[in-house]
Amino acid sequence: MPRRTEIEAAIAAHNAADREPHLPPIAIRLLATVFRQGDVCRRSLDDLAREGIDRRGLSRLLRALVEAGFLSKEGRKAQPCEIVR
């Protein structure tokens, strides 16, 4: 399956199971963006915002994805978005 299709299916299954937090459709776009070529993303929040993802809600969305178990955040504060799938 293409990566985006896998991401869509995983988010849909999560939301259909009434798990918290409920993940909005933008979560699919964010995950497809950060994991376009690999399983590790080490990009700044500003870099992700340049991809067209709203910077204001980005931190909140990343926290929700960590809480839901789709991401884990590792690293120091100097690396604000080190995400491992």
Structural tokens at position 18: 């009434």
What local confidence, expressed as pLDDT, does residue 72 receive? 84
CATH of the domain at 29: 1.10.10
Domain that holds residue 10: 3-84
Alpha carbons 17 and 53: distance in angstroms, whole number: 26
Alpha carbons 50 and 31: distance in angstroms, whole number: 15
pLDDT confidence band for 46 (50 / 70 / 90): confident
What local confidence, expressed as pLDDT, does residue 57 receive? 87
For the whole model, what pTM was predicted? 0.77
As for how many domains the chain has, the answer is 1
